[in-house]
Amino acid sequence: MTGKSEVGFKHNDIQVSVVIPCYNSELYISDAIESVLLQSNSDVIKEIIIIDDGSEDQTKKVVEGYTKEYFVKYFYQKNKGPAAARNHGIQKSKGNYIAFLDSDDIWERKKIEKDLEYLKSNRHCKLVFSNVKVVDEQLHLINKNFNQIPDSNKNLIKELFLGNITMNTPTMIGETRAILEVGGFNEDMPHREDHFFLMKMAENFQVGFHNSHHVLRRIRSTSLSQMQLNNIYEPSQHIENYRPFIFESIREFPFLEGYKHIVISKIYTSVATKHLRAGRRYKSLKYLLKSAKMNPKKFKNYLLIMANLTPIKYENLKNLL
């Protein structure tokens, strides 16, 4: 994936700042921090920057257990969302490279080592990301993701827009100067700000990918998708959360206009699925019809419509989707 910048970097002098945004993370933040401290090449890690995005639990107390003995720095901000927290961490970083980790995820011991090996072999690369292992709250393996990365930046931008390349944030490490040049993460996007960040990086620089699985992405019962299922979060709000990403992406990359209907169709299908899982068949059917209208070729929509019109339970159908 060739970008615009071809300025190399002295890889024999890498210092990595690790940015971890967190919110009410007392149960998991220790796992994240420990996984950084235990990296096989921890000598290149200059600092671990924790940005507390308005936690109301004991997150601060847990993190402070590390600040006196290790190179862990804690900063608190009023709740502004993960994009603002990451940008806060970027501004505080002193390393010439920044790696991102979420507070409930974990790096395996060779994660940073493998990233830096890739960067050493690809000296013009300004950011590299990889795949993840998806685990449950007890770290039992659920599955592995296998992103397929195109060989051109334009196609990479398109695939990110379509949502075909996922689970990127805790795998990314990039040169600080390049991250600052693209403006970090867009704080006006409540959803998919990580995809937009990668799209901007691919627009301006050479972006790399290696097909390894050294990140554990933890799926929690208190995640946003579970909140949606339990009516804590109205599924239709999901659509509004996507709008800034869709329209800003098209403004920045006009050629994406031709793919907007596919993205909107996927959003409608996602909302319909959440309604179906919660037993709200009428609402599910409403959004499925919207999705089918936007993208008539999507076969999944018709399977879900069948589920709404028959007594088949969603749990018995999902393996077909």
**Above 90 in pLDDT, residue 292?**
no
Distance, CA of 81 to CA of 171 (rounded, Å): 19
**Above 50 in pLDDT, residue 253?**
yes
pTM recorded for the entire structure = 0.86
Q: What local confidence, expressed as pLDDT, does residue 8 receive? A: 41
CA neighbor of 279 nearest in space, from 314, 309, 247: 314
**Above 80 in pLDDT, residue 314?**
no
pLDDT tens figures, 111-161: 999 999 999 999 999 999 999 999 999 999 999 999 989 989 999 999 999
Q: Categorize the per-residue pLDDT at 234 as very low, low, confident or very high, splitting at 50, 70 and 90.
A: low
Instruction: Give the residue-averaged pLDDT of 11-24.
Output: 88
Q: What local confidence, expressed as pLDDT, does residue 7 receive? A: 39
Structure-token match 């998708």, residue found:
225
Length of the chain: 321
**Above 70 in pLDDT, residue 315?**
no
Distance, CA of 221 to CA of 242 (rounded, Å): 22
**Above 90 in pLDDT, residue 1?**
no
Distance, CA of 288 to CA of 272 (rounded, Å): 6
Q: What local confidence, expressed as pLDDT, does residue 155 receive? A: 96
CATH code for the domain defined by 11-218: 3.90.550.10
Q: What local confidence, expressed as pLDDT, does residue 175 receive? A: 97
pLDDT tens figures, 211-230: 999 999 999 765 444 444 44
The domain ranges of the chain are 11-218, 224-320
Strands 45-53 vs 16-22: parallel, antiparallel or unpaired: parallel
Helix/strand/coil for 214: strand
Q: Give the residue with greater pLDDT, 316 vs 143.
A: 143
Distance, CA of 23 to CA of 82 (rounded, Å): 9
CA neighbor of 275 nearest in space, from 262, 261, 291, 260: 291
Q: Categorize the per-residue pLDDT at 186 as very low, low, confident or very high, splitting at 50, 70 and 90.
A: very high
Of 79-93, 105-119, 207-221, least confident by mean pLDDT is 207-221
| Backbone phi, psi, residue 153, to 5° | -65, -40
Instruction: Give the residue-averaged pLDDT of 272-301.
Output: 80
